[in-house]
Every structure is written in structure tokens, then in C-alpha cells.
């Protein structure tokens, strides 16, 4: 069974990142929980443990692709790519949320609040969140002044002020308010 989750549906900038994780039932890291309930330091520790003990695949969809489709389609596409990239094809997938990604390599079930209900989804949430946070921190070097290393592209006051001062950059989602021009 693989768990699937994504990170980055709500931010104004950056990609949406999905992860697929098949845990080793004989070596499950202690403390797996919804990534939003963990400190950044604990997520980093669990990230390393999951990567060392599980079959993991990660996929992302860019801000430009999000703008071409929409955030739901982009999230589901990232999940499909992640599940399809696992070394071992999954027999079944558990997905955090309401929707099952089309084109998965196996049958699947969506679970609302799945990251709190299934360890494999919790592991996927940690991998996706840490990966996306690292991507946004790296983006801060290419696009200084926005504070991506601090807020990961979410619509904080600091980020909105930076957009007002600097204008949007190449990784902003132009179809998201307040960037969208109606």
C-alpha cells in the first residue's frame, strides 16, 4: 500500500509537490504524524528516516502548469506521477483528501484527513512538505527579497508586501488572488 499526499496547494508561489510512500512494515519510523502537526526539526528527522527505510517517489508540478490547469488538477497530476515513479508498483493507494488522481497505477481510496488516519499518508505528507520547503528555500536564492525561505510562498503579510514592492516573479501563481487580474 502506498500513501499519497501533497504540499503546496495554497501558496501564491512555487510548485505543488506530491509524494508516494510505501513503508516497510518491519521498519516504520516512530512519530509519524500529519506533517502540519510536527515541528520543522522533527519533520527533517522523520524525512531522513523515511527516505532510509521506505520506497519513496516525489513529483512536482510547476506554478506555470498550475496556472494552465488549476491547483486541483495539478495536485492530482503530481500524485499520479509520484505513484507511477515508485520502484515497486503499488497494489493499492491511500490518498489524503477527497479526490482520487486519475491514471494511478493501482486502485485507490481517498481519505479525508488521511494524514492523521494512515501512517503511509503521514509519511508522504512529511516527504512532500520537507521537499517543497527545501525547494522554496532554494528559490529564495534565485528570487531574493520575497522571503520564500521564511514563508514557502504562502500569502503572509511579508510576502504580499514583497509582491507589492517587487512585483511577481517567475514562480508566482498568476491565477491566484491577489496576483490574478480580473
Mean pLDDT by 10 residues, the chain (182 residues): 97 98 96 90 98 98 98 98 97 97 97 96 98 98 97 97 97 95 80
Predicted pLDDT of residue 4: 98
Predicted pLDDT of residue 13: 98
Q: What strands lie across the sheet with 16-22, from one edge to the other?
A: 55-61, 16-22, 2-7, 93-96, 108-111
In sequence order, which residues have a C-beta less than 8 Å from that of residue 25 and are 6 or more positions away?
none
Distance in angstroms (rounded) separating the CA atoms of residues 90 and 84: 9
Task: Please give the model's pTM, rounded to 2 decimal places.
Answer: 0.97
Distance in angstroms (rounded) separating the CA atoms of residues 126 and 17: 11
Predicted pLDDT of residue 149: 97
Predicted pLDDT of residue 34: 82
Predicted pLDDT of residue 122: 97
Amino acid at each position: 500500500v502506498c500513501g499519497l499526499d501533497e504540499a503546496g496547494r495554497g501558496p501564491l508561489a512555487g510548485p505543488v509537490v506530491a509524494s508516494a510512500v510505501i513503508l516497510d512494515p518491519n521498519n516504520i519510523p516512530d512519530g509519524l504524524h500529519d506533517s502540519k502537526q510536527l515541528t520543522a526539526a522533527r519533520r527533517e528527522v522523520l524525512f531522513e528516516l523515511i527516505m532510509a527505510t521506505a520506497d519513496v517517489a516525489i513529483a512536482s508540478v510547476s506554478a506555470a502548469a498550475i496556472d494552465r490547469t488549476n491547483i486541483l488538477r495539478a495536485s492530482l497530476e503530481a500524485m499520479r506521477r509520484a505513484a507511477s515513479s515508485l520502484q515497486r508498483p503499488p497494489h493499492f493507494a491511500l490518498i489524503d483528501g477527497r479526490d482520487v488522481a486519475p491514471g494511478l497505477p493501482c486502485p485507490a481510496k481517498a481519505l479525508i484527513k488521511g494524514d492523521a488516519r494512515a501512517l503511509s499518508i503521514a509519511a508522504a505528507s512529511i516527504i512532500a512538505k520537507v521537499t517543497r520547503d527545501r525547494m522554496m528555500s532554494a528559490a529564495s536564492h534565485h528570487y531574493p527579497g520575497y522571503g520564500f525561505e521564511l514563508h514557502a510562498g504562502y500569502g503572509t503579510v511579508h510576502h504580499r508586501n514583497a509582491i507589492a514592492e517587487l512585483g511577481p516573479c517567475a514562480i508566482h501563481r498568476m491565477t491566484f488572488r491577489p496576483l490574478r487580474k480580473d
